[in-house]
Structure 1
């Protein structure tokens, strides 16, 4: 283990809660439509219910896109050739993605500054981009972290 972001569990719970909240608001739309046609609900209330459901869907898309790219744990194998990235799925569960260390762009070559809240982990192949936070995450093995991402002196 090279890096750990302890709050990833809370983000996983938040992601699952957001899926449930979105499902609840979308399931409430058909009864609202029925009540509107029965004259039990005004058009403004129907529009409000639709707006809330639409906003919940948009926020679910944005949040899940962000949470799927947020790094919880980074591992490097013993030989230092493979990086294992633990992150979240759409459903808030843990998923691991493997990428060769040789394909990882060192942070010293990226445009990101270490003082920023999130720093990108990019690949030369451009397959996937992840985000980690050096401010709130913990680097557990500085030597291996340096082997993958570059000199730590430049991250101060």
Structure 2
């Protein structure tokens, strides 16, 4: 996963990170995800009871999440096209227009594409793009990708979030895990390539993390 993160960031370069898919993750001065600029609004779970009227403050941001969203959607499209071509290949084989080796090759490519989609989706859906905390400091909102490569928000009680200082991960690692005490769901954030926007609120949630950039 860390190798994939390095490869994507190195391939696109820092200039492209600020340009690609700007609409999906750019907020026009507000924190309500329904007001985000773009043709496709981000998928967002309903706020937990008691936080409907609260504003959420950004504490962490990983700008290159737009790049990963693009690759995720590209991979879904490529896999779909590969799988859709399989039935015609079998038909052409039955008509004697294709050899058995060609059909086996097409089937192998489709199987590999599905396996890669499952692996990449597992990682991309857990990579954190933005972190928010409500004004009372009791709820963490995690902006990440869904299976289709579009933004999705997940809410976690701050009291249930394990401090990064209690994990075995180190700030200089490419990826660090965000874990919850009551659930097995895990998210990944990168302090090496991401940026802590509000250090005070970030520390209140995850503990004092010393980064070296």
| Range class of TM-score, shorter chain | over 0.9
1:114-152 CA distances to partner (integer Å, 9 max, x unpaired)?
211110000011241100011100110111111111112
Which residue matches 2:142? 85
Unaligned runs of 5+ in 2: 1-57
Contact in 1 for aligned 2:171/2:209 (Cα 8 Å): no
CA RMSD in angstroms, aligned pairs only: 1.0
Q: Which has the higher contact order (CA 8 A, sep 6+)?
A: 1
Which residue matches 1:43? 100
- Pairs within 5 Å for 1:23-62: 23-62=80-119
1:130 is matched with which residue: 177, 187, 190? 187
Matched, 1:73 2:130: yes
Which residue matches 1:115? 172
1:22-60 CA distances to partner (integer Å, 9 max, x unpaired)?
000000101111111111111111111000000000011
Give the match's secondary structure for 2:129: strand
| Structure (1/2) with the larger helix percentage | 1
Q: Distance in 1 between matches of 2:90 and 2:69?
A: 33
Which residue matches 1:13? 70
Q: Hey, which bits of structure 1, 4+ residues long, moved more than 2 A?
A: none
Which residue matches 2:163? 106
Q: Distance in 2 between matches of 1:152 and 1:79?
A: 21
Give the match's secondary structure for 1:2: strand
The alpha carbon displacement at 1:101 in A equals 0.6
Aligned length: 155
1:91-115 CA distances to partner (integer Å, 9 max, x unpaired)?
1111100011110000110011121
**TM-score, length basis structure 2:** 0.71
Q: Distance in 1 between matches of 2:184 and 2:105?
A: 40
Which residue matches 1:149? 206
Give the match's secondary structure for 1:98: strand
Unaligned runs of 5+ in 1: none
Q: Distance in 1 between matches of 2:63 and 2:157?
A: 24
